[in-house]
Structure 1
Amino acid sequence: MTESSEITEMEKPTISIEKELRKSYLDYAMSVIIGRALPDVRDGLKPVHRRALFAMRELGNTYNRPYIKSARIVGDVIGKYHPHGDTAAYDTIVRMAQTFSMRYPLVDGQGNFGSMDGDSAAAMRYTEARMTKLDQEIVADLDKDTVDFVPNYDNSLEEPSVLPSKIPNILINGSEGIAVGMATKIPPHNLTEVINGLIALIEDANITIHQLMGIITGPDFPTGGFICGRAGIREAYETGRGVVIMRSCTHVEPRSKNSESIVITEIPYQQNKATLVEKIAQLMKEKRITSIAEIRDESDRQGVRIVLDLKRDEIPDIVLNQLFKMTPLQKSFGIILLCIVNNKPEVLNIKQVLEHFLAHRRTVVYRRTAYELRKAEEKAHILEGLKIAISNLDEVVELIRASANPAEAKAELKSRFELSDIQAQTILDMRLQRLTGLERDKIIKDYNEIIEKIAWLKKVLGDDDLVIQIIREELDQIKEEYGDERRTEIIDAPDDILPEDMIIPEEMVVTISHTGYIKRNPLNLYRAQRRGGKGVKGMTTLEDDFVTNLYTASNLDTFLFFTNTGKVFWRKVYELPLAGRAARGKAVVNLLELGKEEKVAAVLPIADLANVDDSQTVLTVTKLGRVKKTSITEYKRPLRKGKLGLTIKDEDEILTAALTTGDDEIFLVTKNGLSIHFHESNVRTMGRLAAGVKGITLAEDDEVVGVSVIKSDDSILTVTENGYGKRTAVAEYKLQNRGGKGVFAIKTSERNGKVVGVLPVVDEDQVMLIANSGKVIRMPMDTIRIIGRNTQGVRLINLEDNEIVVGMSMLAREEEMVEDIEDNDNSAD
């Protein structure tokens, strides 16, 4: 090696490959973060979306003009602004046109733009597109120096660095992207709610996130559905990160052969419908879900409709719970409010997102106003020259005629009237028609108007409150023009129907209507009222239907359903349908395999049925006065199709059932007001199939309507159909042998009406009375004084015309209840 070559080798710089790779990778990462993957907080757009909309605007491809081939749009996007593949640009346009992907689509597509089943859009040469009307609010004032323009990739054109959007697109359409070491996932929201939130922030800059959540309630997905719970929303809005649970919208439809169908009408956001159907079908094939007989996708242009036909005797709630756990009918959405703020990625809370948008709008309005002021001053300058010309018209005309050429005329005008170059040129360019009287008046009018406009624009630039007022007015206009209702409903996380060891015990109210509809509700839906109150609506019923039975029990209890024919069925409380307080519930025939003329006559809740012993017995009573005691152990082995519980004689049917301990007293009352009080030892324990013995001797037109198991400290509450009743001490009813005719418990006068039923009560008890209209009143017993057996009683509930009391039930004594006490001046003693 020569000396010169050795010197050359020494002069070459030494570069650390580790440092070079680190620098190069960081440059690449920032390029991806800033230039590709994350949206700008101001307009909510990634560069590719912004370039696509700008290219469509430059093409004149607006909502009120004809569609343009998508291939033409893609060509302009990648040829002028976005130097990447045509597939990426076209996919961007396709997604902005999909109504199931964008809450407020930014592209109006014509042709096949894909489907919820995952079908790809047609090739770009087959589809056409144009901007939506909403896009005009995103690009509005773009030509008024409202935003900065930067050179495109080859410095041949300029493109906006951000769009002057009037709409908070970052929230209403959301965004999703994966950068290097970070990702964003912003859900779509409702435009009306977001604008209301912005207005609230304008009115009170110190508004809290909790207060904002009362306005912006949560994400609003284009596919609808439910969001279960608010904890994830609160966490995301406060910290910028959170997880919400999306759930499909379903309902149950009855079908032939005593079976039902689950119908899915809305699915979680970004869920492929075809994949969902395939998943359910696969679970059916693998027999992991055995309750579904058939699955059909009946979706059409009107919307989603997936039908799941259930097998007979299947509980829809349980099947839905399996589907929610094993299929994408329920899925999570991880919220990450990450966006570009001042050229840096930043995770924001909901208030910061709104603040950055308002700051952007303030900048846009200031720059737009300054631009309009410059243009107005330029126009005023020209009009000042024209005004001078028409004020000295004859002299101007004579000067121009005397000039040898335009340059000389221009110089003379500038010298004579002290005009600027542009003013003199405008006078020379003025057409002769502008010398008419009307045109001269119009110049004066235009000049006065432009002077007023200049004054207003200067006032805006000098007053921040006016800028804020302008922003608010524009937001109100946007809301008026584009606002709509929410599609996604936010609900409390519903109780799942799970195996018993995973169910939290909860007191429930179970109601059964006259035509056989059953439902359960949490007990806290009902409120306590004073005697004589107007009541609270417990069930919406038809004219020919009314509530006949109401029970309170834990959701872990077992219900024994005794039918009028003597058959008994077993169901857990959590298997009963959960419905709203005003809903009718579901038909019992869909829960039990009842015969053609069979109906539920009595329901008995049993706690821990599997572990009961023979210390308790089930007392059954028929309406013709037959009584029977059977050990509870006779009912320990449930059969879903039911068993014969006792033998019923002709023209008789079961009235009710109750638990006894072997040392209780039994009290029967008839509809004509007669009662009999005897010790249960008078009735021997019999087998499950026995018919029972006579409990009371009835008159020909009478029947038993109430049965009570008496404790020594109890008083007897008797209620009549016209809303009257009374409490009477047990001592007032002497013990008799069973089978007698009994004594009067209450007078069944025209005022009182017939007897509805009886209950043993003490002061700590609370009783629910139900009318045939569905009205329910919750009544503490300490508000009803104890009176004698021969009295007519007092008013317990105020009834409307054609209303009568049809049922009563006592709430659990150990439950702590909060009374909503309402004084009622119309209550009668």
Structure 2
Amino acid sequence: MDTIDKTITVDISDLLGDRFGRYSKYTIQNRAIPDARDGLKPVQRRILYSMFLAGNTPDKGYRKSAKTVGDVMGNYHPHGDTAIYDAMVHLAQPFKTNQPLIDGHGNWGSIDKDPAAAMRYTEARLSSYALELLQDIKKDTVKMVANFDETATEPVVLPARLPNLLINGVSGIASGFSTNIPPHNPRDVVQACVAYLNDEDISNQDLIDIIQAPDFPTGCEVMDIEGIRSMYTTGSGSFMMAARVEIERPSKHNVQLVFSHLPHNAVKQQIVVALQEIVLNKDIDGIVEARDETDRKHGPTGARIVVELKKGLSDEQIDSIIAYLYKNTDLMSHYRANMTAIVNGSPEKLDLKRFVSSYINHQRDVIRRRTQFDLARTKERFHIVEGYIKALNRLDEVIRIIRESKDRKDAVEQLTEQIDLTEVQANAILDLRLYRLTNLEIESFQKEWLDLQKTIKHLEGILASPKRLDKVIQTEMTEYVKLYSHPRLSPLKRQTKELNVDVTMTIPEEEVYVVVTKNGYIKRLSKRAYMGIERVNAINLKLGDSVQETVLTKTTDTLLMFTASGMYYSLLVHKLPEGKWKDEGTPLHTVVSMPAEEKIVSLIPISTFETDQLLCFVTVEGLVKKTALSEYRTDRSVAVKGVRIKEGDELKHVFVTTDDHRMVVTTQRGYIGVYQQAEIATTGKSSSGSRVISLTRNDRVLHAYPVEQDVPFQVVLFESHGFFRVVPSQRLPEKKRGMKGTQAWKGLGSDGWIVGSLMAEGMQRGACIIDNQTIQGFEIDVSQSSAPLPFVTLEPQSVVTGLVWMPEK
């Protein structure tokens, strides 16, 4: 026989689209999205049904989880055992759902995200609440279909005598669809269903007024009524969950913040670690310690996280700390709801009324099918009892017929012919035991016949009247929910907490000194430590390094650090590492995200950005730029561009000023220029500025200072060979912007230059760096003298390469 080859040509894109479409439909309908009627995914439904058939119910002992997983995998769910057991674990965890469907025994995980023990160790049985979902399943209340290998049947949906989808909530991700439905209070959900039964035209808003908001098993606070209303009206919405906080003031201990009732799905241990990192990194001051004091008495869904505060904090400071912790940890988090469920075989985003109506329609179908089942069984029994009564009224004749019959078949035929019985009735009479022929039993048959008549009438009345059917649903649902009713666990706050975080509120205000070196080391000194410094040159620096700048500031201030490339970094002063004068300090790149090759040129402490002050930038090539200080406020911890620097140029100095000030600029070749700042236009952050001073060949800007109008001053210049000269302001005429300055030090040779300048009077103490290696202290009397005077004695061939000046104590 010849083999016929058949090749089918198909476009790969069409093939992939078709296959992925089938896969998506499977994941949506049979894996990730719950049914709106019973609120269960297929694997969850199969677990409950398998345990029910196995008799693994609350009135019996626990059974190994591995047995349940094996039964489910072998009979209904041909997937991995891990997926089935994970679903079991979720159904058993009381901090995940309001009403666990599985009663677990052993280690089933914790709110710290500890995993459950292996299935061979844990034991489980159905919870009493799960039986409410399975109730009447043997009365043909739901459609049954064949399992994957057609060896058994399984339910398409459970009867679900309580609205489980809203009571327990669910989350899942499918292809193109996802769902995230929060849990609700059982009593509130049932009340909403009853309201719908009484009035199908009830508005969605009326149902919202009944349910109000989700109710989480952890008891966290729920906030933002607008977000919740959006969830119930459109099927999508976001609202806030927050842990509850209490302020405890023990008599012999510091004030404590006690956080409990964590947000839904928050991991307690991760919150504790985040709090401890805040304390360790000193992200906020005022906190001594964070610890976890949760124990058994707080239950599986409870928590007690204690944050101990420093003494002496005001109520405003405590409120600011609480706001900071809420904002920067999972003590407060968003719940982004997506109310998607399977309705009539398709995924649908539902509003609250659609949820309720889908469940009620399902219950109508369940009760109708149950009533039809009970009516059929009742009619069967009524028919048999009717036959008993007929036979007992002619008992002697019945006995005679039976005795004269050849066999059972003959007896059935004779009874149906002579006594006017049906075959079913005749067989029932033959099965009747003799003791049932007593007078007492005969009366019981008559009573049962009357009772069956009433039952039939009642059941037929339910089927004939939609109102009576709805009344049955209402009565039973109200009775069932009583066992699971409890007051709301999650308090509802109409508005979201205002997290007004003012970190400075939590920082004790203290005057400190910040020291930065030329090679990029920084440290913070307390004022007490600074006052104890005896010699400026006692600092311990690496070879070639020197103190570049020291500023007096406060721990509550913001420090702006400008680099030679025109970038700047913003940092709260209290976050700087504290050190001693003799320490070399901490590398700047470990404090802020700054490249090692960057050089800090200016430190600007800012107490407030709400001011009319300006920042003035001066480059080594003599360009100047003014920008409003308020533009430099930033919450970013990375580099931000402060000024645009042209190629070959670099930023030299930055200072705070106003337009009422003059500007004094000094250069390395001994020129000093005095200019009016009002002539310099105020521009934005990204500009490069304009020329303020013209420079001679090989000259560079050394420093710049703001000076008040009409106030005399004097500039002290320090030359590289160890001499200084005082230049009074009377000898420094004002210049127009862009002009060359006044030559204040004439006769500088090619081997000499100005290494530093200072605006000061009286006695001055400082230190000089010789040959980039040694530091030598000096003390000079700055007087009105124009003649160069020595400030340090140098060895032949040695030069001064830098100066160190400290603020006055």
Same fold (TM over 0.5): yes
Task: Tell me how far 1:123 sits from its aligned partner.
Answer: 1.4
The residue type equivalent to 1:265 in the other structure is S
354, 357, 370: which one aligns with 2:356: 354
Question: What is the number of residues matched between the two proteins?
Answer: 502
294, 299, 306: which one aligns with 1:299: 294
Q: Quick check: 1:92 aligned with 2:87? A: yes
Structure 1 Cα separation of the partners of residues 218 and 29 of structure 2: 30
Change (3 A) 1:398 1:176: same
Task: Tell me how far 1:479 sits from its aligned partner.
Answer: 2.9
459, 462, 473: which one aligns with 1:460: 462
Deviates more, 1:200-209 or 1:435-444: 200-209
Given that 1:259 and 1:313 are in contact with CA atoms closer than 8 Å, whether structure 2 keeps it comes out as no
Map residues 498-509 of structure 1 onto 2, 5 A cutoff: 498-499=501-502
Correspondence for 2:310: 311
Task: Tell me how far 1:498 sits from its aligned partner.
Answer: 3.3
Correspondence for 1:765: none
SS of equivalent to 2:290: strand
Task: Tell me how far 1:501 sits from its aligned partner.
Answer: 13
Correspondence for 1:796: none
Change (3 A) 1:234 1:12: same
The residue type equivalent to 1:253 in the other structure is E
Structure 2 Cα separation of the partners of residues 220 and 257 of structure 1: 37
37, 58, 66: which one aligns with 2:61: 66
Change (3 A) 1:197 1:501: farther
SS of equivalent to 1:102: coil
Structure 2 Cα separation of the partners of residues 373 and 423 of structure 1: 18
Encode CA deviations 1:158-195: one digit per residue, 9 max, x unaligned: 01100001110000100000000110000000001111
Correspondence for 2:234: 239
The residue type equivalent to 1:28 in the other structure is Y
Correspondence for 2:149: 154
405, 408, 429: which one aligns with 1:406: 408
Correspondence for 2:117: 122
Change (3 A) 1:44 1:142: same
Q: Quick check: 1:420 aligned with 2:425? A: no
Given that 2:62 and 2:125 are in contact with CA atoms closer than 8 Å, whether structure 1 keeps it comes out as yes
Given that 2:320 and 2:503 are in contact with CA atoms closer than 8 Å, whether structure 1 keeps it comes out as no
Correspondence for 2:499: 496
Map residues 155-304 of structure 1 onto 2, 5 A cutoff: 155-255=150-250, 259-303=254-298, 304=303
SS of equivalent to 1:215: helix
SS of equivalent to 1:302: helix
Q: Quick check: 1:484 aligned with 2:486? A: yes
Task: Tell me how far 1:494 sits from its aligned partner.
Answer: 2.7
Change (3 A) 1:197 1:176: same
Correspondence for 1:105: 100
Map residues 637-786 of structure 1 onto 2, 5 A cutoff: none
Given that 1:38 and 1:340 are in contact with CA atoms closer than 8 Å, whether structure 2 keeps it comes out as yes
The residue type equivalent to 2:51 in the other structure is M
Structure 1 Cα separation of the partners of residues 309 and 503 of structure 2: 23
Correspondence for 2:134: 139
Given that 1:252 and 1:316 are in contact with CA atoms closer than 8 Å, whether structure 2 keeps it comes out as no
The residue type equivalent to 2:381 in the other structure is K
Deviates more, 1:349-358 or 1:198-207: 198-207
Given that 1:226 and 1:249 are in contact with CA atoms closer than 8 Å, whether structure 2 keeps it comes out as yes
Given that 2:279 and 2:290 are in contact with CA atoms closer than 8 Å, whether structure 1 keeps it comes out as no
SS of equivalent to 1:307: strand
Tell me the percent identity. Answer: 39
Encode CA deviations 1:517-539: one digit per residue, 9 max, x unaligned: xxxxxxxxxxxxxxxxxxxxxxx
Task: Tell me how far 1:481 sits from its aligned partner.
Answer: 2.3
The residue type equivalent to 1:497 in the other structure is N
SS of equivalent to 2:284: coil
Correspondence for 1:534: none
Encode CA deviations 1:222-261: one digit per residue, 9 max, x unaligned: 1111112211100000000000111111111114578411
Change (3 A) 1:192 1:400: same
Structure 1 Cα separation of the partners of residues 490 and 321 of structure 2: 23
Task: Tell me how far 1:66 sits from its aligned partner.
Answer: 1.2
Structure 1 Cα separation of the partners of residues 318 and 48 of structure 2: 47
Structure 2 Cα separation of the partners of residues 14 and 149 of structure 1: 40
Change (3 A) 1:394 1:103: same
Structure 2 Cα separation of the partners of residues 167 and 302 of structure 1: 30
Which of these two proteins has the greater Rg computed from alpha carbons? Answer: 2
Given that 1:460 and 1:467 are in contact with CA atoms closer than 8 Å, whether structure 2 keeps it comes out as yes
Given that 1:321 and 1:496 are in contact with CA atoms closer than 8 Å, whether structure 2 keeps it comes out as yes
Structure 2 Cα separation of the partners of residues 150 and 283 of structure 1: 56
Unaligned stretches of 5+ in structure 2?
506-555, 557-607, 613-809
Deviates more, 1:215-224 or 1:194-203: 194-203
The residue type equivalent to 1:458 in the other structure is E
The residue type equivalent to 2:214 in the other structure is P
Correspondence for 2:346: 344
Map residues 569-648 of structure 1 onto 2, 5 A cutoff: none
Task: Tell me how far 1:129 sits from its aligned partner.
Answer: 1.0
Structure 1 Cα separation of the partners of residues 107 and 492 of structure 2: 32
Q: Quick check: 1:370 aligned with 2:369? A: no
SS of equivalent to 1:456: helix
Change (3 A) 1:258 1:146: closer
Correspondence for 2:592: none
Given that 2:284 and 2:503 are in contact with CA atoms closer than 8 Å, whether structure 1 keeps it comes out as no
Structure 1 Cα separation of the partners of residues 446 and 201 of structure 2: 48
Q: Quick check: 1:385 aligned with 2:387? A: yes
Change (3 A) 1:428 1:253: same
Task: Tell me how far 1:420 sits from its aligned partner.
Answer: 2.1
Correspondence for 1:824: none
SS of equivalent to 1:129: strand
Given that 1:260 and 1:309 are in contact with CA atoms closer than 8 Å, whether structure 2 keeps it comes out as yes
Task: Tell me how far 1:12 sits from its aligned partner.
Answer: 3.2
Structure 2 Cα separation of the partners of residues 224 and 309 of structure 1: 23
Task: Tell me how far 1:325 sits from its aligned partner.
Answer: 1.3
Structure 2 Cα separation of the partners of residues 486 and 408 of structure 1: 69
Change (3 A) 1:145 1:251: same
The residue type equivalent to 1:163 in the other structure is L
Given that 1:185 and 1:336 are in contact with CA atoms closer than 8 Å, whether structure 2 keeps it comes out as yes
Encode CA deviations 1:23-53: one digit per residue, 9 max, x unaligned: 1111111001000001000000000110111
Structure 1 Cα separation of the partners of residues 502 and 83 of structure 2: 48
Q: Quick check: 1:25 aligned with 2:20? A: yes
Encode CA deviations 1:692-725: one digit per residue, 9 max, x unaligned: xxxxxxxxxxxxxxxxxxxxxxxxxxxxxxxxxx
Task: Tell me how far 1:373 sits from its aligned partner.
Answer: 0.6
Change (3 A) 1:417 1:17: farther
Structure 2 Cα separation of the partners of residues 404 and 64 of structure 1: 49
22, 28, 45: which one aligns with 2:40: 45
Structure 1 Cα separation of the partners of residues 376 and 297 of structure 2: 52
Task: Tell me how far 1:493 sits from its aligned partner.
Answer: 1.9
Correspondence for 1:774: none
Task: Tell me how far 1:478 sits from its aligned partner.
Answer: 2.2
Change (3 A) 1:244 1:483: same
SS of equivalent to 1:494: coil
The residue type equivalent to 2:122 in the other structure is T
Encode CA deviations 1:579-602: one digit per residue, 9 max, x unaligned: xxxxxxxxxxxxxxxxxxxxxxxx
Given that 2:98 and 2:167 are in contact with CA atoms closer than 8 Å, whether structure 1 keeps it comes out as yes
SS of equivalent to 1:99: coil
Structure 1 Cα separation of the partners of residues 383 and 339 of structure 2: 49
Structure 1 Cα separation of the partners of residues 499 and 7 of structure 2: 72
